[in-house]
A = this chain, B = another copy of it.
Amino acid sequence: MKARVHITLKSGVLDPQGKAIEHSLADLGFAGVGDVRQGKYIELDLTETDPEKARADVTAMCEKLLANTVIENYVIDLDA
């Protein structure tokens, strides 16, 4: 089973990487680009086949290692 995790900064948390991209795009001549936010995307191969148990495992991984839950949100998607 494959898990895909999106980790994004909570709204209201300053995102310097996103701002840097925004300014670079403007410098390159791309008009009409508003807010840019950058997050992380992690793909994990799991041997677990039960979706409920896999989701519980990945949630624990996010809480303990992958995300800083003070400033970041995470979303977990599971593929069969």
Residues of A within 8 A of B (CB): 6-8, 18, 21, 24-25, 28, 30-48, 57, 60-61, 64-66
A45–B47 Cα gap in the complex (Å)?
37
B40, A45: Cβ atoms closer than 8 Å? no
CA distance A31 to B33 in the complex (A): 43
- Knowing that A34-B44, A34-B46, A40-B41 touch, tell me 10 more A-B residue pairs with CB under 8 angstroms: A7-B41, A28-B64, A28-B65, A31-B47, A34-B47, A36-B42, A36-B45, A37-B42, A39-B41, A40-B40
User: Is A36 in contact with B32, judged by CB distance below 8 angstroms?
Assistant: no
Which of B32, B36, B43 has a CB less than 8 Å from the CB of A39?
Answer: B43
